[in-house]
Structure formats: structure tokens, C-alpha cells
Structure 1
Amino acid sequence: MKQLIECVPNFSEGRRPEVIGAIAEPFKNTPGCYLFDCRADEDHNRLVVSLVGSPEPVQTALIAAAKIAVRHIDMETHAGGHPRIGAVDVIPFTPLRNMTMPECADLARSFGERFYRETEIPVYFYEEAALRPDRRRLEVVRRGQYEALKKEVADPARHPDVGEPRLHPRAGATVIGARKFLVAFNVNLGTTDVAVAKRIAEAIRASSGGLCHVKGIGLALKDRGLVQVSLNVTDHEKNPLYRVTEFVRTEARRWGVEVVETEVYGMVPAAALMSSAEYYMRIAGFDPAQIIELRLLEMMG
């Protein structure tokens, strides 16, 4: 039976439309690879692409897009709000249909070998594809970002999993892995004080003793006169979006700051939104089977 995966590659480019368009082109034109979402952020200086397809065409499109990114992105001059270590910063695979998580992890590792052969960008593996337990968490692999890694890569503790112990001269390194669905969720606050966002991010993220399965950083959105608590929710069933939102709202009010809006960045499972709709609308006895579109998809197989 046909296997399907989701892949959400992140590129360190969010400001030049011509480069963004060129990177996206292979995802649009490779048969068997389907581009679901392509979203660039100028403050983050980052492009997040959401793909679905069979493993081989998705990998083929990724290699083509990576080669374009190498030509146009120079990490020596790159700057932006989001942590990064490379032009093709991270490539996560998620099993969708007829594929287990261990199989997806094997796919990530084999693709990492191919990625290095064809681009000469060294590779680190994370999450379910990690070869070392200390590299399961993405933030650990990206510690210090590109600027620190280019100095520390010669240290055996920071050697790549694939490739020589040095970074690509323009494209840095890439982190490849297999994981569950991740919801990129941002909460924007009505203040220009980025220290507030950073304090809230520290309070909410799991690594600081906050909510499990939540990662967060605080950023300034200078063009909008706001700050942002930028979050990755790695298991929306164990910590749903409404709980994350209310945590941020409660903490923000300590500084007299209100939530202006929230953002879902890229694709999101329907269940992640339905649980919050049920909570805020106080729907009694809600069953996802009541949603017409989901029932139609189930009928269509």
C-alpha cells in the first residue's frame, strides 16, 4: 500500500521573494510531492514549507530545493529572530499512512546520508532519528546557533552525525529527524518590551519546568510594535492550544500586557483546533464525527 509522509523543511530565508519562490518551485513541480503551505516571516527571516507525499518524490524535491538554498543563502551574512544553524535549517519527517515511526526514523537517517552526498552539508539527527540520546532535542543540537557551531564543530562532542567535522562554507549544517505532528503556535502581545515575551517563554517551556511538550522563545516584532512568544507544541493532545494560550495570557497580565492575537504557523491537525473550539465555546458532548468534512474524508478513505 502507498506510504505517505509529511515533511516541514525550514529554510533560513524570509525576506527575498525571488529566493523564496525559487526554493518552493521543486515542491510544486515534483510529481508525487504536494505543497500544502509555504510561509515566510521577515522578522524570523525564515521560510516554513509543509509537504505531503510518498517518500521518494518528497526526498527528490528536498534535494533540489536544498541546492537552490545553498546558491542563494549565505549563513555568514544571515540574521533573523529565529534560532538556526544552516540555510536548510531543519527537515523533520512525520509518518502519515502505512508507515511506522521507526520506519520514518530509518528514512530520515538514509536521507541524511543522501543529503550530505548531494549537497556537502553536514547533518545532525534529532528526535526519533537521533543517534545519540543527548541530541534528541532540537534546541540542544542548535545550541549557540550557527555562530557558535562553526567554532565548536571540531569538538568531538559537536561533530556532525554525517559528514566531516566542519560546516559548509555558506550553508552551515542541517538537522534531520522524525517526529510527531508539531504545531508552530505564536502568541503576540501588546507591548514593545521583548523582555516580557522572553520571561513568559522561559516560564512556559518544558526545559525550564513549564508545560511538557512545549518549547518557546521570546521575540520582538519591531515592524508591528508587538512582541511574540513563539512556541512549538510537540504534543497537542497532552498540552492543547487553549491551555498554552491561557498560560501565556495569565503570565502576560502580571506585566499589565494583553494577548493581541495568536497565530498557527503552517499546517495543523484538525484535532488541535477542535479541542480549543470545544473549550472556548463550552460545547457539551462534542464529537469530531459531527464535523461534515471529516466524515466525508473518512468515507472517501
Structure 2
Amino acid sequence: MSSEKVIECVPNISEGRNEEVIHKLIDILDLQKGVQLLHIDSGYDANRTVFTIVGNPEMLIKGMLSFYKVVLESIDMRIHTGAHPCIGAVDVCPFIPLKNISLKEVIPIAEEFGKTVAEKLKIPVYLYESAAQRPERIALSNIRKGGFWYLEEKMKHKDWKPDFGPELPHFSFGASCIGAREILIAFNISLHTNDVKIAQKIASQIRTSSKNKQHAFSNLKAIGWEMPSYNCVQVSMNLTNYKKTTIFDVFETVKYLSAAYGVDIIGSEIVGMLPLDAIKSCGTSILKKEGIKKMASDEELIDITVKYLGLNAHEDFIPKEKILDFNLDF
């Protein structure tokens, strides 16, 4: 078995509509040795694209610097519109341990990359999650509060000086949040209504920071937003520890709260990729709920989960493309 270290990088760019820009970034990643682009997920309403990339740390860092250079040349935040909160063209860039490397070892990789981006591209960088150097910067939402247009004013305060780089936003790029974390699952549930207030109320009830803890989960970030291209609204979530806060439990709670408002669930979607064990766990919980006692294969558990969650509601859920384990060579 190879002892090579492998990390994952999931940059989120503030562009989900301009295919020319997205293809430029695909092309630059394809040129990088030792780097593998596994998946791309673009959202029109969010105006955001999530790239899933893996490689050995040294080669991945080189590839990501080239990626940032293309983004800097191609995306102008001054004309950006979209539902997703953001402060920069590469809004977030987390590094995640996958093989033969720990989260503790990934932290200095994120720090060094953040320093390099700031020095070479003159972009302000904030370190977040496990790489955060201040407690208030662990939560990404704190850094992004106010968005791109408030960023210049925010950075005037001593508490919001960047960890690296200029003390004012880059005029077209903004700033970038670079961090280290474990695998998370981006999970959106679509509600059969156009009333965004319902989605926002549900999100406020279930997220970790909720003041009312009756339906709140640990390890869960949630917002409600409009999705005009789907003709609905969504509860958009990040499950930051999917083993403690499971897809099944979150889905059941959102379904329950949605019903209280007289609203049905259309279906759901995974943004980016997810681990096989997360979808198998969900399938097992569905069988248990329905009182079915049987040994199910991985394929059956995937099929059960896709149907129950309505993962085909907006786009086809293709397991070989969406499940991380099926795309790794180790």
C-alpha cells in the first residue's frame, strides 16, 4: 500500500454562470501534474462553482496557485450577483486530509498557502476552521458577514485585519478564506413554496447557533434562500461532522418543520461530493424507520437513499460521479 500523502481541496469560486471561465479553470487544473479534478458543481442562482480536487500536498499547492491566478484574471466581484454569501472570487479554499496525513498536518499547509497567495497575488487572506488563528474566525460565517460590499469597511477595524496580505480588499477579487477541516457534506433541501421566509425560519431553528435548541443540531450550518431556476426555496446546509449530525436526521427534521408550515418537500441535492459511508448510513436509517430488517448491499442502500431524499428531483444523482470513494485511486 502506498504511503503517499493525499489531501483534498474544495475551492468555491463566485462564478456559476460563465462557462468560459469555468472551463479555463478546468483546463489549468488538467495541466497540473499530481493533481486530479474529481468533480465540478455549478449553481446558477448561487452563482457559485464548487471544485473537488485531490493530490499530494506539494503538487496540489502548486496547482491551486495557478488556479487562483486564473480566477484573479477572470472574475470581477464588483459585478457579481448571486444568492450565496461571499467575500471573494475564490471565496473559500479548504484543505482536507484524505490519506496518510492528519488534520493537524494539514493546518500548516493551509497557512503556508494562504501566505503565498497573499504575497504573490496581493490578495487579503483569512484563515478559518482548524487553521484559524483567532477564535472568532473559526466560523466562516463570521468572516463573511456583511459580504463583499461591506468588506472594505469591515477591514478598517483592527479585529478584522486579514491574517495575510493587504489590509484592504483587492479591488476586483475581494478576499479569500483559506482553511483546514475534515470532510463536510453540503446538503440542500428544496421546499414546495416560493416563500423564502419559511426556509429561513427552518434554517434558524436547526443550525447549531440557534437560540432555540429544540430542533438545533450540533455541527450544522444552515441558511434559507430562493432558487428561481428551481421555482422553489431551499434550506441550504453544511454538515460539518456528518457522523454526528447525519443526513437522515437532518432531512427528517426539515420535513417535520416544513410540514408544520403546510409545505411539502420537493427533494434534495448534494453540492459537490459525499463519502460512501454517509449515504450507506442514511439508507440503513431509512430501512430501520420503515421496519425493514434485511441486509442490503451498498448499491441497494444508495438507491434507497436517493429515492427517499429525492436526490434526482433537480438533476440526476449519479453515484459514480457524486460519491467520493468511487473516484479515488487508493
3-state SS of the aligned residue for 2:76?
Answer: coil
* 2:97 is aligned with 1:91: no
- Which 10-residue stretch deviates more, 4-13 or 17-26? 17-26
How is 1:44-83 mapped onto 2 (pairs within 5 angstroms)?
44-83=46-85
| Alignment partner, residue 199 of structure 1 | 201
Give the Cα separation in 1 of the matches to 2:228 and 2:166. Answer: 39
Q: Distance in 2 between matches of 1:227 and 1:221?
A: 5
Q: Check the 8 A contact 1:126/1:138 in 2, yes or no.
A: yes
1:24 Cα deviation from its structure 2 partner = 2.1
Find the counterpart in structure 1 of residue 176 from structure 2: 174
Residues 290 and 12 of structure 1: is their aligned pair in 2 closer, same or farther, counting only changes over 3 Å? closer
TM superposition score normalised by structure 1: 0.94
Partner of 1:220: 226
| Distance in 2 separating the partners of 1:23 and 1:223 | 24
Q: What residue identity is the alignment partner of 1:275?
A: S
Question: Which position in structure 2 is the counterpart of 1:278?
Answer: 284
Between the aligned partners of 2:249 and 2:15, the Cα distance in structure 1 is 31
Q: Counterparts of 1:138 and 1:288 in 2: how far apart (Å)?
A: 37
Question: What's the CA shift for 1:290?
Answer: 10
Residue type of the partner of 1:191?
Answer: T
Any stretches of 5+ residues in structure 2 without a counterpart? 301-319
Q: 1:97, CA displacement in angstroms?
A: 1.1
Query: What is the distance in 2 between the residues matched to 1:285 and 1:76?
Result: 55
User: Counterpart amino acid of 2:193?
Assistant: T
Root mean square deviation of aligned Cα: 2.1
Aligned letter for 1:146? F
Q: Residues 19 and 72 of structure 1 are in contact (CA less than 8 Å); yes or no, is this contact kept in structure 2?
A: yes
Does structure 2 retain, via aligned residues, the 8 Å contact 1:25–1:65?
A: no
- Give the Cα–Cα distance (whole angstroms) in 1 for the partners of residues 293 and 183 of structure 2: 27
Q: Does 1:43 align with 2:45?
A: yes
Query: 1:71 & 1:290 partners in 2: Cα distance?
Result: 43
Match of 2:133 among 131, 134, 137: 131
Q: Is the 1:37–1:49 contact (alpha carbons within 8 Å) kept by the matching residues of 2?
A: yes
2:105 is matched with which residue? 103
- Distance in 1 (CA, whole Å) between partners of 2:257 and 2:282 is 19
Q: Which residue of 1 aligns with 2:247?
A: 241
Question: Per-residue CA shift, 1:52-107, capped at 9, x if unaligned?
Answer: 11012211121111111111211111110000000010000111111111110011
Contact 2:154 2:160 in 1 (8 A): yes
3-state DSSP of counterpart to 1:231: strand
User: Which residue does 1:33 correspond to in 2?
Assistant: 35
Give unmatched runs, 5+ long, in structure 1. none
- Structure 2 distance, partners of 1:288, 1:239, is 23
Aligned counterparts of 2:142 and 2:131: Cα–Cα separation in 1? 14
Q: Please list the CA deviations of residues 184-224 of structure 1 after superposition, one character each: whole Å capped at 9, or x if unmatched.
A: 00000111111111111111110114111110111111122
User: Could you say what secondary structure the match of 2:209 adopts?
Assistant: helix
* Alignment-derived partner of residue 232 in structure 1: 238
235-244 vs 19-28, greater mean Cα deviation: 19-28
Deviation >3 Å, runs of 4+ = 283-291
- Which residue type is aligned with residue 260 of structure 1? I
Indicate if the aligned counterparts of 2:118 and 2:166 stay in contact, CA closer than 8 A. no
| 3-state secondary structure, aligned to 2:17 | coil
